[in-house]
Amino acid sequence: MSAPKFDDLLSRVIRNLPDPHQNHRNPIGASQRLAVTLRYLATGIGLQALSASYKMGTSTVSGIMEEMCSAIWDALQGEFMAFPSRGQWQDIAEDFWRQWEFPLCVGAIDGKHVRLRAPARSGSDFYNYKGFFSIALMAAADANYRFIYVDVGAYGRESDGGVLGRSAFGSRLAEGNLNLPAPAVLPGTTTPSPYFFLGDEAFPLQVNLMHPYPGTNLQDRKRIYNYRQARARRVVENAFGILAARFRIFGRPIDCQPEKAVKIVKACVALHNFLASTEQARYMPASFVDTTADTGEVQPGEWRQARPSQRAALVREQLADYFLSDAGVFPHQYNVLRLGMRTDQ
């Protein structure tokens, strides 16, 4: 994020913050609170290490995180996460046709598991089929990798289709109440078709929600359909990938209760749309996303290279926690932070 963009964000967020001087003993300005929060979201640094680097108490930093993440969402969602009008749905469909050669598509839908530390007294509610604790992030993305809609906070054990079905968006989709444009003809034909979203096999086939043909030994007609759908639907995979690459908080289990984790995720999503809309060349240059060669072969975007392997990331997280524990602490490690010495030597 550039310095002018930080100032732009600060001017938007500050209107949603309480007066810092209500704490007369140690007021912390909005600029510093925003800087602390963005560093936490962008780097995934642990709260203890972040607190030490800013010479603040861990509880203070934790409170700043929650307050600022709520303020970021409140400041940005009205402009950058607003639900599309009928005309805007048509604009999204035109982008999908122009950029991905898929007609009448108004979004690609997918889900992502956001890692959590095991919540207290939660049983198996947040334990997912992949073998870790999580909350579900369900989202629809447009043709330009921006999120149209998000639903955050469902139990990790729920399937993508279950999360969508129980969400307000899923209910409106099933009932036909999303204010989508009236059916239109497929380009170059007189064949009418409804507007629709694209999902994978986890989602139910509906009039306004397409998923691939199942099976392996398919006729060419069905294989071509599946290829064209997968190509267009890749935008939501890229949107999630860009989000995780730019906000490294997604690279480690979020160490807080699910209610606070929801605020963190929503802030990251809002920031993603804000930067993708206002600072696209810097935030996600053309080389950062997947592209398609003239042969039809997919060229992986740089965001894929930015992700450490899951196993490697977990090993590093274990070591980071160990170095803060009684068993692994090194007596002089906090002196380095207090004295402002370089930590990469």
Task: Kindly indicate the confidence band of residue 10, based on its pLDDT and cuts at 50, 70 and 90.
Answer: very high
Q: How far is CA 6 from CA 11, 39, 147, 175, 276, in A?
A: 9, 12, 21, 41, 14
The one-letter amino acid code at 345 reads Q
pLDDT at residue 264, as a whole number: 94
Give the Cβ contact number of residue 93 at 10 Å. 23
Mean pLDDT of 65-72: 92
Single pTM value for the model? 0.82
Between CA 39 and CA 27 the distance in angstroms is: 20
pLDDT band for position 2 (cuts 50, 70, 90): confident
The phi, psi pair for 322, rounded to 5°, reads -60, -40
The CA distance from 73 to 268, in Å, is: 8
d(C-alpha 10, C-alpha 19), whole Å? 14
The residue type of 231 is: R
Bridge partners of residue 213, in order along the sequence: none
**Mean pLDDT comparison of 21-25, 139-143, 333-337, highest-scoring range:** 139-143
pLDDT for 324-336, tens place per residue? 767 666 776 666 6
Taking all residues of the chain, what is their mean pLDDT, rounded to a whole number? Answer: 82
What is the 3 state secondary structure string of 3-43? Answer: HHHHHHHHHHHHHHCCCHHHCCCCCCCHHHHHHHHHHHHHH
Work out whether strand 147-155 and strand 184-185 pair parallel, antiparallel, or are unpaired.
Answer: unpaired
Q: What residue spans of 134-246 are helical by DSSP H?
A: 160-166, 168-175, 220-246
Mean pLDDT value of segment 159-175: 76
Residue 277 has pLDDT above 90, yes or no: yes
- Average pLDDT of the segment spanning 57-71: 89
Using only C-alpha atoms, the chain has a radius of gyration, in whole angstroms, of 22
Residue 228 has pLDDT above 70, yes or no: yes
